Amino acid sequence: MDAIVADNISKVFRLHEDPSQSIKERIVRMGRSRYRDFVALEPLDLTISQGSTVGILGHNGSGKSTLLKCLSGILKPTTGTIQLRGRLASLLELGAGFHPELTGRENVYINAAFLGINRREIDRIFDDIVAFADLAQFIDEPVKHYSSGMYVRLGFAVAVNVDPDILLVDEVLAVGDEVFQRRCLDRIRHFQQEGRTIVVVTHAADLVRQVCDRAIVLHHGKLVADARPGEAIHVFREHLQGTMVEGGAAAPPPSGALRIVGASVSHPHQHERRYIHPGESLEVSVQYESDIDVDSPTLNLVVHSKDGQTVFAIDLDLAAQGVLSLGRAGRIVVPFTSVPLLDGTFTVDFGLTDRRNPEHTALRQGRDEFDVLNPTDARGVASLSVGAVRHQSS
């Protein structure tokens, strides 16, 4: 059974060319004002089955929040229709619907009433809402005195305690301290066990992997992926980091007596897919030219994550590997029998030097990459091998 069915929905905003015009001036110039259409969401179809948890990923301005507001009814789609089955609760903005001059208690009743909950039902769940938000000592204070974290804690507490069939959440899980975030995740898992439908907008790829069974990726208003979390996260990172965009400034030609003139990163499955899975093998090679004899060659390899963190570095004494000297040209191949990394795009930097004459050094940096796609729900940096689990009764 489907909880959400969106058929050919899109959203176009009309932007006036002269935003400084007042409303009165626009009315007077009705029909003559210049404007342009901004397509925030291109036509898409989306069906979400009952009981599933779907993550929506995308960079800022990709249309994530616009899609969620269309699903919640805050925005009316320019085209298409949306059908929902069951009671909907949404938390799309910090303190949405809260009146700053009213107390937290008053805002709970007003906010719950917006969601269609009668006063008797609110009375029954009020203590649960306050306890979840951990705001008992502030509940009778005007919310204008609340911090942004207190706002979202109270709003989320209302949304998850009104017994929704469908819960729409926009970035709220990134707000609050660790204790509150853990409480939110526990409630989401409880909802999942009860078969409720959840749609989460977030920038946190690890959160999508942790709680979602499916993810979609938006890029400039277009749907570019609808897949299992691991594959969708890979597409999201490609678009976010621009690795799908070709071009860029050409690197200067290598110079010096010892030169690295080429390098490659390859794996056994590259004809089927661009990426490797955690634990699969990888091979890197570097091609060099030399005008001198290099009798004590050393190859330096450094693997970086996209945020610049060093995840692996090693200096390989090639003489110990059986390469006693380098000729005038050649290729050095280094196999990695297993790459125990999780998701990400990683850069390999190369350095080739003569240990006896370290002034003869050649570098190649920031140009050679490989991708790892994690198809499991494991999170973090490294993929550790887990053996058979044993249970021993005490």
pLDDT digit string, tens, across residues 57-94: 988 888 998 999 999 888 999 999 999 998 888 877 65
Per DSSP bridges, beta strands 53-57 and 197-201 are parallel
pLDDT of residue 285: 95
- 198, 279: one domain: no
Give residue 277's Cα distance to chain centre. Answer: 19
- Whether 249 maps to a domain, the answer reads no
pLDDT band of residue 223 (cuts 50, 70, 90) is very high
- Whether 234 maps to a domain, the answer reads yes
| pLDDT of 248 strictly over 50 | no
- Whether 20 maps to a domain, the answer reads yes
- 126, 164: one domain: yes
Handedness of CA 177, 181, 183, 184 (dihedral sign): positive
- 175, 31: one domain: yes
- 98, 124: one domain: yes
Return the closest-CA partner of residue 213 out of 88, 371, 51, 72.
51
- 140, 198: one domain: yes
User: Looking at residues 161-179, what average pLDDT do you find?
Assistant: 76
CATH assignment at residue 177: 3.40.50.300
User: Looking at residues 189-214, what average pLDDT do you find?
Assistant: 87
Cα–Cα distance measured from residue 224 to residue 221, given in angstroms and rounded to the nearest whole number: 9
Alpha-helix runs per DSSP H in the chain = 23-28, 64-72, 104-114, 119-133, 148-161, 178-193, 205-211, 229-241
- 171, 95: one domain: yes
pLDDT band of residue 385 (cuts 50, 70, 90) is confident
- 203, 290: one domain: no
- Whether 389 maps to a domain, the answer reads no
Q: Tens of pLDDT along 338-378?
A: 999 988 889 999 999 988 888 889 999 888 999 998 888 78
Return the closest-CA partner of residue 181 out of 170, 172, 191, 169.
172
Residue 203 exposed, middle or buried by CB count within 10 Å (0-12, 13-18, 19+): middle
- 262, 234: one domain: no
- Whether 110 maps to a domain, the answer reads yes
Percent of the chain exceeding pLDDT 90 equals 43
pLDDT of residue 175: 58
What is the helix (H) or strand (E) element at residue 287, kind and residue range?
Answer: strand 282-290
Beta bridge partners of 223: 218
pLDDT band of residue 244 (cuts 50, 70, 90) is very low
- 58, 188: one domain: yes
C-alpha angle 320-263-350 in degrees, rounded to nearest 5: 55
Cα–Cα distance measured from residue 305 to residue 6, given in angstroms and rounded to the nearest whole number: 37
Cα–Cα distance measured from residue 202 to residue 173, given in angstroms and rounded to the nearest whole number: 8
Cα–Cα distance measured from residue 89 to residue 191, given in angstroms and rounded to the nearest whole number: 13
- 34, 128: one domain: yes
- Whether 383 maps to a domain, the answer reads no
CATH assignment at residue 267: 2.70.50.60
One-letter amino acid of 367 = R
| pLDDT of 302 strictly over 50 | yes
pTM of the model: 0.67
C-alpha angle 238-239-242 in degrees, rounded to nearest 5: 80
More confident residue, 199 or 343: 199
- 224, 352: one domain: no
- Total domains in the fold of the chain: 2
Residue that is written with structure tokens 């390899």 in the block: 301
Q: Which domain does 282 fall in, by range?
A: 258-372
Q: Round the average pLDDT of the chain to a whole number and report it.
A: 85
- Whether 380 maps to a domain, the answer reads no
- 105, 62: one domain: yes
Beta bridge partners of 168: 90, 199
- Whether 378 maps to a domain, the answer reads no
Handedness of CA 130, 135, 136, 142 (dihedral sign): negative
Q: How many CB atoms lie within 10 A of CB 13?
A: 14
Cα–Cα distance measured from residue 207 to residue 194, given in angstroms and rounded to the nearest whole number: 20
User: Looking at residues 2-29, what average pLDDT do you find?
Assistant: 76
